[in-house]
Structure 1
Amino acid sequence: MLFRQLEPRTARTAAEVMKFALWPFAVMTVLNRVFIKAINGFVTDDYRPVYNASFEFLNGRPVYTANFDSVDPHYLYPPSGTLVIAPVAVIEYELSRWLFIALNAAAILLAWYLLLRLFKFGIGSVAAPALLLAMFASETVINTLVFTNVNGCLLLAELAFIHLLLRRRDLWAGAILGLSIAVKPTLAPLLLVAVVRGQWKVLITAIGVPVGLTALAWPLSKDPERFFTHVLPYLAKTRDYFNSSVGGNGAYFGLPHWLILLVQVTMGAVVAVSLWLLWRYYRHDELFFVTTFSGVLLTAYFLLPSLGQMYYSMMLFPFLMTVVLRNSVLRNWPAWLAIFGFMTYDKWLSDRWQDIGRTLEYLRVTFGWGLLLIVVFCVLGDRYLAARREGRLEFGIDPAWMANAPDSRDGVEEKPAPAPAPDRDDPVAPVEEREPALK
């Protein structure tokens, strides 16, 4: 059956044309990113400090010894994360790095499949190669593989958490989220999604897993307390390099502290209003609510606190996929201008206009995250105000036309193209299908 699908044939429908065109691009892009770009590596190496710390942990030596005065990548995982990731140092560095790249690539591919299923798409749909190509062409996937960090595994954890949360498998959802938090707290804001949905059991395992792993790691570590006395103070500071948060770019460009604080407070209010509107009017539309609410939360988490890096945007893939839903807040061009800012691998550094190019390159992620939050606020606010004017708030805020808009949840699967009608001159066509002979 697999080889039958690979048989070269001429497309008969527009959907088949798109699939035949996109699959080779998608597959070859994946192979290039994994076996060429990732293996080649880059001057930025997120894996080396992780490997070194794991090696020191396995040999009973101190782990948290980084000099934070340098701009090199540092080891920042908590003791629970050290325990989980320590097996990577059992083998020599190069082979370990290759296997970690393979692990992340496999995690991203599995997350891609879960994302398709979440929105009711199959492997045979046009969405499959389109999404795969978009993911592996993005900066976040490319640099996750090239820098060799754990973000691919976190994306898989996020998709597994969303699937389990929607199926009300609360303890399992919490365990998956807790395991990711034990390594890196990127997905910690998703605890709020469970809370506002009243799924309190999620908190039991989401908190219990990292606490339990920390308790296990503590007696095995040489200097676990230094994570809290040495690393956490560094993480709490807003650094002015490799930092796309409002505070990071504000510090880099020398903005006064009051202005940075004003932007943070204003954007915080924008986020709060958006989250309230989503909870008030969309919490019963489970797929849309969970993916959009979590997307807004995570975007704000990248933009407003002390540290936000471009490749964190991988966690927004479920939110971006909501564009296939009829009530999506992303069906407009400003949203995709924002997404271009933090997803594209393009570089805007210019040899001819160096100052302008550097400003565009350093600010595009910050503006992208910020614009996306503003778009969500404006779309939801416009729907709310229109519904209030028309006196239909009790029925929700979606406009009437939206009921007939296309939606992936309608469950319309693409049907294979019908077999072509037999050629009238085909000698093997059934007798009843041949054109009668003229007399």
Structure 2
Amino acid sequence: MSVMDRYLYPRMDSARILSMILWPISIMMILQRSIILAVNGARTDDFTTVYQASLHFLNRQPVYAENYATVDPHYLYPPSGTLLMAPLAYLDPTHARWTFIAASVVVLIICAYLLVRMFDLPLDSWVLPGVLFFMFSTETVANTLIFTNFNAFVLLGMIAFLMLMRSRNDYWAGFFIAMTLAVKPVLAPLLLLPLLQLRWKVFVTGLGIPILLNLAAWPLIVDSRSFLDRTVPYLSETRDYYNSSIAGNGAYFGVADWLIILLRIAFVLMAIFSLWFLYKYYSDNDELLWLATSSGVLMATLWLVSSLGQGYYSMLLFPMLMTVFRSGSVMRNWPAWLAVYGCMTFDVFGSKRWEPFGRYLEYNRVTLGWSLLMIVVFCVLLFRWLDIRKLDDDAASPTAEAPALS
């Protein structure tokens, strides 16, 4: 190569090219999602109910007096969550919402950084902007910001919990999951992970802090008893709108009860096998892979078989998705990423030309995505188990027939 060619055709490695492409696109996507879409808002507004409840709490007015017969977003946080969210009401509604959006964006960026750190990937590579690009391109992140929901903080608590579990900081691991349980107890199934390892220190803070916060908030809420009498029973009901669980989806489409029960049992059994296999073969050999994959299995199973599963919960699958960079991952196949597309895509399938088909896809894509993901994980681990059994059988069988006696 001549001296002139060096200037005409400067060399650049692939990793640097990817970083150069992903950083500006990711930054602009973050700005568009937060400053434009989130500030614009949508018909679904999760923040106003939280703000109003906080305002009622500070003014000593009933907090749990909503009409649950409507399809509007309802305030469902426990008294501990009311206590923690109350400072929002010191601001006016608009600035409180903008502050919450800004905090959520910062938290999501921190989550991307921690995910890269957790999987020991270089921070100066294309991976960090790639993770940010993927996260902010999904429906789960976009609608968390647009609806102004607490999910970003739940994801931060989940990632911190997994990282601290791995580093054996049990009290702090319990603290971070406790702060999410106090507001939204969606991560409660993850307590199975320290239970399997008999790490009781996690439960001291993990359960102790929410209990103490509820005890502190209980006398401060004028209708705290209504949380048990009205809100808790409502949470156990299966609603047929904005609900991607098997029961919610089945209620909307009129699926027979026996089939709904059968499907729920099937996914619970798949989860039990998957969790058993992951614990038996990975908890000692690759704890990070065990923690991240098991957390995804627990979360997806919860959303499918419980009374309520909403699409934007899917961001809690991010740790499991990151295992694709690790040998042994269940995410190294195309059906797994087809499932991720189903439960995380921001695409809309409403069709004017094929209206029934488009409506079916739009209302089922999250449920189908979670279901396919669970089936993929189950099948991958089942085939590995069968291979291991075959290997053990081959090792136990004689390699050759014994010589005949003369």
**What's 2:302 paired with?**
301
Instruction: Encode CA deviations 1:12-34: one digit per residue, 9 max, x unaligned.
Output: 10111111111111111011111
Counterpart amino acid of 2:182? A
1:88-127 equivalence runs, <5 A? 88-127=88-127
Q: TM-score, normalised to structure 1's length?
A: 0.86
Q: Deviations over 1:66-92 (max 9, x none)?
A: 111110000000000000000000010
User: 1:122 Cα shift?
Assistant: 3.0
Per the TM alignment, residue 121 of structure 1 is displaced from its structure 2 partner at its CA by: 1.7
For 1:270, the equivalent position in structure 2 comes to 270
State whether residues 47 and 149 of structure 1, in contact with CA within 8 Å, keep that contact through their aligned partners in structure 2: yes
Displacement, 1:308? Answer: 0.1
Query: Which residue of 2 is the match for residue 379 of structure 1?
Result: 380
Which runs of structure 2 are paired with 1:16-165 in the superposition (5 Å)?
16-165=16-165
Task: Give, in whole Å, the separation in 2 of the partners of 1:109 and 1:201.
Answer: 29
For residue 129 of structure 1, report the CA deviation from its aligned partner.
0.9
Runs of 4+ in 1 over 3 A off after TM superposition: none
Matched with 1:404 is: none
Deviations 1:371-425 (A, max 9, x none): 111101100110111121122899xxxxxxxxxxxxxxxxxxxxxxxxxxxxxxx
Matched ranges for 1:207-226 at <5 A: 207-226=207-226
After superposition, give the CA deviation of every residue in 1:187-229 in whole Å (9 maximum; x if it has no partner).
Answer: 1111001111221210111110010000110111111111111
User: Counterpart of 1:352 in structure 2: which amino acid?
Assistant: R
The aligned residue for residue 203 of structure 2 is 203
Name the structure 2 match of 1:365.
Answer: 366
Partner in structure 1 of residue 341 of structure 2: 340
Residues 404-419 of structure 1 mapped to structure 2, 5 A cutoff? none
Deviations 1:81-116 (A, max 9, x none): 000000000010000000000111111111111101
8 Å CA contact 2:16, 2:125 repeated in 1: no
- Which residue in 2 is equivalent to 1:4? none
Moved more, 122-131 or 55-64: 122-131
Q: What is the identity, as a one-letter code, of the residue corresponding to 1:292?
A: T
CA contact (8 A) 1:19 1:129 kept: yes
Kept in 1: contact 2:80–2:213 (CA 8 A): yes
Structure 1 SS opposite 2:306: coil
What is the Cα deviation at residue 11 of structure 1?
5.9
After superposition, the C-alpha distances for 1:104-160 in whole angstroms (9 at most, x for unaligned) are: 111111111110100112331111111100000100000000000110111111111
Deviation at 1:163, TM superposition (A): 1.1
Structure 2: distance between partners of 1:121 and 1:75? 39
What is the correspondence of 1:255-294 to structure 2 with a 5 Å cutoff?
A: 255-284=255-284, 285-294=286-295
- Contact 1:384-1:393 within 8 A present in 2 as well: no
- 1:397-436 equivalent positions in 2, closer than 5 A: none
Instruction: Report the count of equivalent residues.
Output: 386
Q: CA deviation at 1:10?
A: 6.1
Moved more, 385-394 or 256-265: 385-394
Question: C-alpha distance in 1, partners of 2:120/2:386?
Answer: 32
- Give the Cα separation in 2 of the matches to 1:266 and 1:133: 35
Q: Is the 8 A contact 1:25 1:133 kept in 2?
A: yes
Cα pair 1:61 1:222 within 8 Å, conserved: yes
Matched, 1:324 2:325: yes
Shift of 1:279: 1.0
CA RMSD, Structure 1 to Structure 2 (Å): 1.3
The whole-number CA distance in structure 2 between the counterparts of 1:174 and 1:393 is 44
Closer, same or farther: CA 377–57 of 1 in aligned 2, 3 Å? same
Give the conservation status (yes or no) of the 8 Å contact 1:387–1:393. no
- 2-structure distance, mates of 1:96, 1:257: 43
Aligned equivalents of 2:128, 2:91: Cα separation in 1: 36
Q: Using the alignment, how far apart are the partners of 1:44 and 1:390 within structure 2?
A: 54
- Rounded to whole Å, the distance in 2 between the matches of 1:166 and 1:256 is 43
With the length of structure 2 as denominator, give the TM-score of the two structures: 0.93
Separation (CA, whole Å) in 1 of partners of 2:200 and 2:292: 18
User: Helix, strand or coil: the match of 1:60?
Assistant: coil
Partner residue of 2:176?
A: 176
Separation in 2, partners of 1:266, 1:162: 27
CA distance in 2, matches of 1:234, 1:211: 21
Structure 2 stretches lacking a partner, 5+ long: 1-8, 396-406
C-alpha contact 1:140 1:311 (8 A) present in aligned 2? yes
> How far apart, in 1, do the equivalents of 2:97 and 2:327 lie?
42
Q: Deviations over 1:158-200 (max 9, x none)?
A: 1111111111111111011111100001111110011112212
Tell whether the 8 Å contact from 2:158 to 2:187 is kept in structure 1 after alignment: yes
1:263 and 1:140 mapped to 2: Cα distance?
A: 25
Report if the CA contact (8 A) 1:275-1:293 is conserved.
Answer: yes
* Counterpart position of 1:251: 251
Q: Which runs of 5 or more structure 1 residues have no equivalent in the other structure?
A: 1-8, 395-439
Tell me what 2:403 maps to.
Answer: none
In structure 2, distance between residues paired with 1:267 and 1:218:
37
Query: Amino acid of the residue matched to residue 320 of structure 1?
Result: L
Rounded Cα–Cα distance in structure 2 between residues aligned with 1:384 and 1:393: 14
Match of 2:166 in 1: 166
